[in-house]
């Protein structure tokens, strides 16, 4: 049986207390070891979730990538901090994923997914999925409109304004496409060659939906 890495998010009532951590779980021996405690006293207290807790986890060439709200932390296999990186368009990150030498990070605070080149050490492209203001009642009416897809340069100054109209939760790179889901999207959306396609209908409020064996998990 393998060992797995998991994180927890605890919304502590007092600043400076632990807001969760990272754990190494040995499924063979059924033992759990806490390898990181997220007790950073600089954690922001504005808004639900925000900086509280480490969320996304991904692996690349013997390194572990962990996502906080607006920064990606890089650790070695012994969970010693190696480096970190962020971006002005990375806010309230929920999940990350790696395919090849590219890391994809959700930026819930900008309705976006950011693409980071691990070999070059730079943000390369951003995808913004955004609904107009008049579609805010879509969940109440059980409608599933198509968000507007736009791309931008994350290292430039012409990206989207801050906003959370669809609450992007997760991104999954697969077969040359990106599959994006969020609690306010109502669908898993497929981004391929700059086009947005509806992949599967999902209930509003769903977290981390992804393709799985011809269906959705």
Q: Give the 3-state secondary structure of residue 133.
A: helix
Residue located via tokens 């063979």: 28
Minimal CA–CA distance to 73: which of 45, 50, 53, 49? 53
Domains of the chain with CATH codes: 87-216 (2.40.128)
Residue 8 has pLDDT above 60, yes or no: yes
Q: Give the 3-state secondary structure of residue 82.
A: strand
10 Å CB burial of residue 132 (0-12, 13-18, 19+) is exposed
The predicted-structure confidence for 116-143, as pLDDT tens digits, reads as follows 999 999 999 999 999 998 888 888 888 8
- pLDDT score recorded for residue 136: 83
Q: How far is CA 140 from CA 128, 146, 163, 165, 204, in A?
A: 23, 16, 20, 14, 10
Which carries the bigger pLDDT value, residue 196 or residue 37?
Answer: 196
Minimal CA–CA distance to 194: which of 148, 144, 155? 148
Q: Residues 60, 39: contact at Cβ < 8 Å? A: no
The predicted-structure confidence for 176-194, as pLDDT tens digits, reads as follows 999 999 999 999 999 999 9
Residue located via tokens 């943000």: 123
Q: Which helix (H) or strand (E) holds 128?
A: strand 122-130
Q: Which residues contact 118 (CB under 8 A, 6 or more apart)?
A: 60, 98, 101, 102, 103
Q: According to DSSP H, which parts of 31-70 are helical? A: none
The predicted-structure confidence for 17-70, as pLDDT tens digits, reads as follows 566 789 999 999 999 999 988 766 555 545 444 555 678 899 999 999 999 888
Q: What is the mean pLDDT of the chain?
A: 89
Please, what is the end-to-end C-alpha distance for the chain in angstroms? Answer: 22
Which carries the bigger pLDDT value, residue 101 or residue 68?
Answer: 101
């Amino acid at each position: 049986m393998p060992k797995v890495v998991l994180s927890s998010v605890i919304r502590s009532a007092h600043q400076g207390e632990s807001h969760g951590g990272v754990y190494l779980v040995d499924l063979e021996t059924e033992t759990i070891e806490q390898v990181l405690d997220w007790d950073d006293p600089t954690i922001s207290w504005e808004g639900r979730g925000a900086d509280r807790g480490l969320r996304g986890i991904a692996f690349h060439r013997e390194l572990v990538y962990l996502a906080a709200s607006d920064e990606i932390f890089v650790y070695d296999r012994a969970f010693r901090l190696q480096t970190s990186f962020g971006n002005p368009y990375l806010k309230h990150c929920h999940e990350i994923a790696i395919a090849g030498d590219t890391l994809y990070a959700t930026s819930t605070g900008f309705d976006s997914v950011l693409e980071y080149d691990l070999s070059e050490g730079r943000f390369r492209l951003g995808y913004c999925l955004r609904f107009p203001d008049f579609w805010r009642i879509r969940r109440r009416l059980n409608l599933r409109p198509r968000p507007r897809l736009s791309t931008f340069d994350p290292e430039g100054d012409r990206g989207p304004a801050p906003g959370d109209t669809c609450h992007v939760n997760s991104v999954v790179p697969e077969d040359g496409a990106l599959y994006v889901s969020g609690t306010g999207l109502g669908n898993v959306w497929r981004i391929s060659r700059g086009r947005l396609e509806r992949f599967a209908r999902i209930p509003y409020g769903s977290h981390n939906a992804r393709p799985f064996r011809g269906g959705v998990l």
